[in-house]
Structure 1
């Protein structure tokens, strides 16, 4: 099964995983990494690498970040060269719900594409 890591500012990663598990039930091979603007970048990078390692059982890891331009996204630029890691920026609940539903059945790259597509579908605009 593909491992999942959510990385972002402050409480966002933990909060989105709480919401996800309220909707889908308890999940295995998933964790959150909070980024603080006060923390050393090397320490943040190491925390992300440890999280990736903790959920990787051989099928790869899909990492979600809050934004490509935020620290989590920038740190992932230096990690993406590792094999069996795919990164999606702009995490949302819609994509995570679909990913936990399908991660046992798809290859890593296919799961990343599905997450991207479902994430886009989860964005809507309401206007009077």
Structure 2
């Protein structure tokens, strides 16, 4: 099973874990690390390494962070081991639910693909959706499930795969 470590600002990771466990059920091999203002990087890195070790059964580990270019994200990058410990920034609930449902059956690369796809798929601006979706219609699921989102009145561009660091934190 792919292990997961959530390293986020404050207690965001703990809240996300609580919600995913409410939705999907208990999650084993999932740890959280809260990065607070007063924390020192020198003490956080050993804690992150310990968490990675605890969730790793040999299948690989995903370290999920909240904001690319932030302290949690930069810290996560220091423990990356290509092909074994990988990092995804921009954690959200659809991503975590997808991982909770698939990480026992998929390899690390498969989990990365499914998580990033789910994380992007459920981002939608109400002003870009058909009116029937705003009335609680079931078509919203179909619209969001469309790989091209072609049924939208105004096509929504897919998010850029790589966001320049300066833009990511401004």
- For the superposition of Structure 1 and Structure 2, which TM-score range results when normalised by the shorter chain? over 0.9
Residue 27 of structure 2 aligns to a residue whose secondary structure is coil
Determine if contact 2:12/2:34 at 8 Å carries over to the other structure: yes
Q: In the alignment, is the contact (CA less than 8 A) between 2:6 and 2:65 conserved in 1?
A: yes
Q: Deviations over 1:64-96 (max 9, x none)?
A: 000112111011221113651111000000010
Greater radius of gyration (CA): 2
Cα distance in 2 between the residues matched to 1:29 and 1:14: 14
Per the alignment, in what secondary structure is the counterpart of residue 8 of structure 1?
strand
Quote the residue 1:4 is aligned against.
4
The aligned residue for residue 109 of structure 1 is 109
Higher strand share: 1
In structure 1, what is the equivalent of residue 55 of structure 2? 55
C-alpha distance in structure 2 between counterparts of 1:57 and 1:122, whole Å: 30
**Structure 1 residue ranges without an equivalent (≥5):** none
Residue 16, structure 1, aligned to residue 12, structure 2: no
Structure 2 CA distance, aligned partners of 1:67 and 1:124? 19
Partner of 2:90: 90
Figure out how many residues of one structure are paired with residues of the other and give that number. Answer: 128
TM-score, normalised relative to structure 2: 0.72
In the aligned structure 1, how far is the partner of 2:96 from the partner of 2:106?
14
1-structure distance, mates of 2:11, 2:39? 15
CA distance in 2, matches of 1:60, 1:93: 21
Please name the residue that 1:41 is paired with.
Answer: 41
TM-score between the two structures when normalised by the length of structure 1: 0.94
How far apart, CA to CA, are the structure 1 residues paired with 2:26 and 2:94? Answer: 17
**2:68 alignment counterpart:** 68
